[in-house]
Structure 1
Amino acid sequence: MIIDGVEMRGVTLDDAAGLADVLTRNRAHLAPYEPHRPDAFYTEDGQRARVRGLLDERDAGRLVPYVLIEAATGTPVGAINLGDIIRGPLCSGGVGYWVDRAWHGRGLATAAVEEVCRAARDELGLHRVHAGTLVDNTASQRVLTKAGFTPYGLAPRYLHVNGAWRDHRLYQRLLHDDPPPAP
């Protein structure tokens, strides 16, 4: 359990129906922060295909996908991924997350980001985790700051979000200063 009756675990194909439901309920809420998603994305089949892709990326060592589950019901209430994993001298990964609007304000996103950073350091040996937020997404910026991230730059027209190329504020958290693992 990470916080308030919510568990974080690796995503599975069995999560597809629950993810489709929670994403559909949160579609309007997430739209300002997400790339355009086709209607099929919000179906069980669409989520099954997306999860299959996440698991393929996991198996290739480039991503660790998690789902946040309400322990009492088994219902997904969010997700967090550690992606863009690069080994060697960079030893870095990027974190992205979302939480069901009904669960906002409970510290869930911060706890999940902190747990992903712990896993990145202790299980993967990564040196650094990075994230980007839309410049006006102050809620996500608070999450990252509370989780020990610091801002390090601005990326103009970084991602195509909600129909346009949007500037992003970049954050990072350094996890340790050990040398990278030997190849």
Structure 2
Amino acid sequence: MLIRQPHQRDAAALARFYTSNAGHLQPWEPLRPEGYHSVSAWEARLREREREQAEGRAAYFAGFDPHTGATIGVCSLTNIVRGAFQACHMGYAVDLSYQGQGWMKAICLHAIHYAFEELRLHRIMANYIPRNERSGQLLQTLGFEQEGLASKYLLINGRWEDHVLTSLLNPNSSH
């Protein structure tokens, strides 16, 4: 698997990833308007993501199958806050056909390494809907610790969903 930050040339691959996984991801994502995952929408979104990365506000990663070029999964580090907080939120999604094979873990580990070693962040926060057992298991495997439960935290698939709040601390943070 090739893990890297996606560029505008990846718009078609990301559009295919999200379109082909719409049913798989729908229970865990906000409702999306018509055309949200079109190639042109992804081209615009990737331009904005490149700006966010250049400004240090976010970092995005995708894992690609080296044989087919298919997108295996994605992981984002968003809402990067500096100052006294030094933290971000992590989100992720895996293609249904690659689920349960360790690919998502590998992509997340790459993003975690980047957050702690390159960005020198202190904390990564990742939250999941309690019934999403796969997501909870992934975060536990990655070393995230549960910090609480937020009631009606995010509007997901048309309803306000509770989320389990977790975090991972940088073991190399000196202060």
| Cα distance in 2, alignment partners of residues 71 and 178 from structure 1 | 38
Q: Which residue of the partner structure matches residue 99 of structure 1?
A: 94
Q: Which residue of the partner structure matches residue 56 of structure 2?
A: 61
Q: Which of 69, 76, 82 is the aligned partner of 1:87?
A: 82
The alignment of Structure 1 onto Structure 2 pairs a total of residues equal to: 174
Give the residue type in structure 2 aligned to 1:14. R
| Cα distance in 1, alignment partners of residues 42 and 34 from structure 2 | 11
| Cα distance in 2, alignment partners of residues 38 and 50 from structure 1 | 14
Using the TM superposition, name which of 162-171 and 45-54 deviates more: 45-54
**Do 1:113 and 1:144's aligned partners in 2 also have CA atoms closer than 8 Å?**
no
Alpha-carbon distance, 1:110 to partner: 1.4
**TM-score for both structures, normalised by structure 1:** 0.91
| Cα distance in 2, alignment partners of residues 51 and 38 from structure 1 | 18
Using the TM superposition, name which of 110-119 and 29-38 deviates more: 110-119
SS class of match (1:96): strand
Q: Share of identical aligned residues, percent?
A: 34
**RMSD value, Cα:** 1.1
Alpha-carbon distance, 1:73 to partner: 2.2
| Cα distance in 2, alignment partners of residues 170 and 150 from structure 1 | 8
Alpha-carbon distance, 1:178 to partner: 1.2
Q: Which of 166, 170, 173 is the aligned partner of 1:175?
A: 170
Spell out the pairing of 1:67-82 with structure 2 (5 A cutoff): 67-82=62-77
Give the residue type in structure 1 aligned to 2:48. G
| Cα distance in 2, alignment partners of residues 161 and 81 from structure 1 | 18
Alpha-carbon distance, 1:45 to partner: 0.7
Q: Which residue of the partner structure matches residue 9 of structure 2?
A: 14
Q: Which residue of the partner structure matches residue 3 of structure 1?
A: none
Note the alpha carbon deviations across 1:9-30, whole angstroms, 9 max, x for none: 0110001001111111100111
| Cα distance in 2, alignment partners of residues 57 and 157 from structure 1 | 28
Q: Which residue of the partner structure matches residue 40 of structure 2?
A: 45
SS class of match (1:72): coil
Q: Structure 1 residue runs of 4+, over 6 Å off?
A: none
Give the residue type in structure 1 aligned to 2:86. C
| Cα distance in 1, alignment partners of residues 120 and 78 from structure 2 | 14
Q: Which residue of the partner structure matches residue 112 of structure 1?
A: 107
SS class of match (2:49): helix
**Do 1:15 and 1:76's aligned partners in 2 also have CA atoms closer than 8 Å?**
no
**TM-score for both structures, normalised by structure 2:** 0.95
| Cα distance in 1, alignment partners of residues 71 and 61 from structure 2 | 10
Using the TM superposition, name which of 32-41 and 51-60 deviates more: 51-60
**Do 2:61 and 2:107's aligned partners in 1 also have CA atoms closer than 8 Å?**
no
* Runs (5+) with no aligned partner, structure 2: none
